[in-house]
Structure 1
Amino acid sequence: MNKHKLRALILMLGAIFMAFFMAFFMVNTTIHAARMDMVDVSNNNGYMSTAEYVSMRNEFGVKAVTVKISEGSTYKDPYAASNITNVQAAGMYINGYHFSHYATRAQAIAEADFAGRTAKAAGLPVGAVLATDVEAQEQNYQSKATNDRNNAAFMKEIQKFGYRSDIYTSGSWANTKMTIKGRTGWIAAYPYVASGKNWYSNNHAWQWSSTAKFRISYGGFDVSQLNDKYYTAGQKSTVKPTNKGAVKTNNKKANKHTYKKSASSKWIKEKKTYTLKTAVKLHTSTSTSSNTIAILPAGITVKTDQAIIKGGYRWVRQPRSNGYGYLVTGPTSNTLKYVKSGTAHTYYTVKSGDSWWTIAQRNGLNMTTLASQNGKSIYTTIYPGQRLVVR
């Protein structure tokens, strides 16, 4: 072989190798967007029609819907039955969840019995998942061992009704406040940018946004990526998105950066005075698992001098005679659990039939903002006669 042919062969082989390398590199560095496989809804979303669920399925690729069934030992979600009926009419997988408040094993069993009976009455089919939503203050004050015992009791009791069980909680609580084993669990954690990383790939589901928008539905929704078939097992479904182009486009939009950092990841000066709306723990450091200096009661004022974003929370520092104490004021989206003292507020008195969604709509607010500025979550039950801050 002469040197010209040899050179040509070398160049050709080099080009083939380079093309192969680039193809391999591109395939293996593709950023995968988080998927909108599952949506969860409650009375806070108002009445949801079959048409809305069909739109979620066809235009956004949603496969499953998990509806709120109950809360505590007395509250029944008034939209549970209609949500279950309409989700099934849309040909989607259906599951349920119970927002728990139990602090003892006996309470966990009692809540499971209440949730199971309520789910049966609402029409949740046997074989569906009925998850326990564990994120309330009652569990926050328990040890990990106590929460594990209570969760196990709830899930064992739920199975008596023919439902499969699971635990929903936040990423900051998983394996700190309670044990979440691999191949179990539905974990909530909201990154600034969802694309490029599945934060909880070893769990059944990852809830990666609480602000997803759907074309014909009002407000923001919690959306989750399913990592296995746990939430789609044991049921028949006709989920077949009819507009794959729309699914791709809408998924891309949902993954865009929609969160704003409330403060620097470094300490910043922030001299404020807060009036606590609920009893909260004063920690020795900026970690929810750190030792507790004291439990500060609702109603007292706390003066702070600095703030920081750390570990998925927004912390403030309280100067004390012998050092500092640290308080969580909310998640990194800066949803405050406390109200700054001296600020004038406008209040709304809850009426029969009201929900977070209806009150927020009436006052031009996002319902998550409304709930958080009252020191609650959108899953907290509100009652007639209760006063809420709306301005």
Structure 2
Amino acid sequence: MIRVKFKNKLALTGAATTAALFLGLNANAARMDMVDVSNNNGYMSTAEYVSMRNEFGVKAVTVKISEGGTYKDPYAASNIANVQTAGLYINGYHFARYATKAQAIAEADFAGQTAKAAGLPVGAVLATDVEAEEQNNQSKATNDRNNAAFMKEIQKFGYRADIYTSGSWANNKMTIKGKTGWIAAYPYVVSGKNWYSTNHAWQWSSMAKFRISYGGFDVSQLNSNYYTADQKSTVKPTNKAAVKANNQKAYKNASKPCATAKWVKESKTYTLKTAVKLHTGASTSSSAITIFSAGTTVKTDQAIIQGGYRWVRQPRFNGYGYLATGPASNTLKYVKSDVTHTYYTVKSGDSWWTIAQRNGLSMTALASQNGKTIYTTIYPGQRLVVR
């Protein structure tokens, strides 16, 4: 769930059209029991969560808390407060970067402390999101040992533990036992079958739409009461027509180009109040060039709203650097563009290199324009911007 959080799994070819019709017209489509959100979704109001609950039957929200050993999601505290105000069950997740047992314990301590500070209540689930290159390079036994260490440590903070990963990694890169786990695998034509029914949750889409919220969301069907604090929820959608229409929108013509934001001219000088990372791209997942200390003066030439932040570009002697100046709500000169993207749907066996070569791009450029790095794992079914 990097934010990306694209964890997508099946080619959007003819099956996508079938899925669109099925999910839009069939009452047995997978449920939107749980939504997960992160900094990539920007600020989420209580009204948005109330709409998710009342109109779409959402029961629980799982918010990003932290990543690795230093990153704290800036929206965690507001998400936790607003979800609770909306009367939904609240949980959290930590995006894992650990490769050793010691690192897993250290990250669990960091995640637990960050969750406490952000207001995640005792008894909530604090899952470890295991899908990064660090774990891809480890053996199954090593990942199992590290995950067990993280979960044991996180329980010391009063949180319940679980593992989030993709269907292709479950019981391949790590062990996910029955009656545990939150598994991502999508899109999929349900056709009467509930995937991962023995696990706590099945994440089946990253493109779900909600009436008053911007963008696509990761949604999951809950197969147990684990993410609702072992309590049964009576939340049911009150607007079935909206659910049907939005499910249909989420999948119909999924490969069509969509409008995007564009850079606008902005010659401005910033004096930083706090230390800020300068990135290689306008994304929190892009590499850091350096860290500017408080008091540094930065001259910029362009700005854009992207990934939940307002980004500015700094001309440098060898290219450009990018830094976030605030949340997306700080729109200033933000404008919509008529520019459209062309998408490619990842297939089994694809890699950053093969997709980049096929579309005349470098791996770095391809990853950057999708808000990722070449070390981010991609999955069959995931859509990438190639033009």
Report the TM range for the smaller structure's normalisation.
0.5 to 0.7
* Residue of structure 2 equivalent to 1:47: 43
Does the Cα contact within 8 Å between 1:192 and 1:260 map onto a contact in 2? no
* Residue of structure 2 equivalent to 1:339: 356
* Residue of structure 1 equivalent to 2:128: 132
Is the alpha carbon distance of 1:192 and 1:113 closer, same or farther for their aligned partners in structure 2, counting shifts above 3 Å? Answer: same
- Cα distance in structure 1, aligned partners of 2:206 and 2:152: 29
Is the alpha carbon distance of 1:170 and 1:64 closer, same or farther for their aligned partners in structure 2, counting shifts above 3 Å? Answer: same
SS, match of residue 54 in structure 1: helix
**By how many angstroms is 1:243 displaced?**
1.7
Q: Which has the larger radius of gyration?
A: 1
- Cα distance in structure 2, aligned partners of 1:390 and 1:197: 33
- Cα distance in structure 2, aligned partners of 1:67 and 1:119: 10
- Cα distance in structure 2, aligned partners of 1:185 and 1:368: 30
**By how many angstroms is 1:373 displaced?**
8.0
Does the Cα contact within 8 Å between 1:213 and 1:221 map onto a contact in 2? yes
* Residue of structure 2 equivalent to 1:243: 238
Which TM-score applies when normalising by structure 1?
A: 0.61
Structure 1 alignment gaps of length 5 or more: 1-29, 262-276, 279-308, 316-327, 331-335, 349-366, 379-388
- Cα distance in structure 1, aligned partners of 2:373 and 2:188: 21
Counterpart residue identity of residue 357, structure 2 = K
SS, match of residue 340 in structure 1: helix
- Cα distance in structure 1, aligned partners of 2:79 and 2:210: 16
Q: Which deviates more from structure 2 when the two are superposed, residues 159-168 or residues 368-377? A: 368-377
- Cα distance in structure 2, aligned partners of 1:191 and 1:123: 33
Structure 2 alignment gaps of length 5 or more: 1-25, 257-285, 288-344, 379-384
* Residue of structure 2 equivalent to 1:351: none
SS, match of residue 370 in structure 1: coil
Counterpart residue identity of residue 253, structure 1 = Q
* Residue of structure 2 equivalent to 1:266: none
Number of matched residues?
Answer: 269
**By how many angstroms is 1:233 displaced?**
1.1
1:176-325 aligned within 5 A: 176-233=172-229, 240-241=235-236, 243-246=238-241, 249-250=244-245, 253=248, 313-315=347-349
Work out whether 1:73 is the aligned partner of 2:69.
Answer: yes
Residue of 27, 31, 35 corresponding to 1:35: 31
Counterpart residue identity of residue 59, structure 2 = K
RMSD across aligned C-alpha pairs, in angstroms? 3.5
Does the Cα contact within 8 Å between 2:126 and 2:159 map onto a contact in 1? yes
Counterpart residue identity of residue 243, structure 1 = T
* Cα offsets for 1:237-289 (capped at 9, x unmatched): 8x64462534653575368566569xxxxxxxxxxxxxxx99xxxxxxxxxxx
Following TM superposition, the consecutive aligned residue runs of length 4 or more in structure 1 with deviations greater than 6 angstroms are: none
Is the alpha carbon distance of 1:216 and 1:338 closer, same or farther for their aligned partners in structure 2, counting shifts above 3 Å? Answer: same
Does the Cα contact within 8 Å between 2:133 and 2:377 map onto a contact in 1? no
Which TM-score applies when normalising by structure 2?
A: 0.62
Counterpart residue identity of residue 348, structure 2 = R
Work out whether 1:329 is the aligned partner of 2:351.
Answer: yes
Q: Which deviates more from structure 2 when the two are superposed, residues 115-124 or residues 52-61? A: 52-61
Residue of 137, 143, 149 corresponding to 1:153: 149
SS, match of residue 102 in structure 1: coil
Does the Cα contact within 8 Å between 2:208 and 2:246 map onto a contact in 1? no
- Cα distance in structure 1, aligned partners of 2:198 and 2:28: 17
SS, match of residue 371 in structure 1: coil
Which fold has the larger relative contact order, with Cα–Cα distance below 8 Å and residues 6 or more apart in sequence?
A: 2
SS, match of residue 69 in structure 1: strand
* Residue of structure 1 equivalent to 2:55: 59
- Cα distance in structure 2, aligned partners of 1:251 and 1:35: 12
- Cα distance in structure 1, aligned partners of 2:255 and 2:42: 27
